[in-house]
Homo-oligomer: A and B are copies of this chain.
Amino acid sequence: MSESLTAPTSPAPAPASAPVAPHPKRRTVAELSHDFRLANGRLARRVRQEQADNELTSGQFSALGAVFRLGPMTLSALSEEERVTPPSMNRTVNALVEAGLVNRAGSAEDGRKVVLTVTDTGMTLVRETRRRRDDWIATRILKLTPEQRQTLAAATEIMKELANS
């Protein structure tokens, strides 16, 4: 497979009328892969760094976001969703309950289960944090040209495919 990675990103030189790509120089897939992976990782790190002023750890916020997104769920369902063991998630949930962001209630149907729900405070925090995280990148996207925004919009769809494949 290593050989086929030398395939160019485009089968022929871009025609002079191509209106979009600002860097039409010929590159191999291997070069593109390397550059794109690094840019993706660095940007993700940069965004994460920006949101580090949060009082919640990333694991706590991720768990809160999962319950917010998926609705009321049990501890084990949440631990599976977050790829973490039940004892670990239990500790995370304890912190969220103590912070008043999540409610822990026994299940009426099955006495062994607990049902986790996001409190109003938790919902507000999720929405505000999300908006704050989006804002950092939004202020920068706002300064791009419409063509660059189109490129990012198209790239977003491609990146979703890549992440799911």
Contact = CB atoms under 8 A, between A and B. Distances in A.
Contacts of A14: 150
A24 to B, nearest CB: 8
A165 B42 CA distance: 12
Q: How many copies does the complex hold?
A: 2
A149 B40 contact: no
A39 B159 contact: yes
Given A9-B149, A29-B138, A155 B157 contact: no
Interface stretch (A43-51, A84-92, A94-102, A109-117): A43-51
Which of A44, A144, A165 neighbours the largest number of chain B CB atoms within 10 Å of its CB?
A44
Interface of A: 1, 4-5, 7, 9-11, 14, 18-24, 27, 29-30, 32-37, 39-48, 130, 133-135, 137-142, 144, 146, 148-160, 162-163, 165
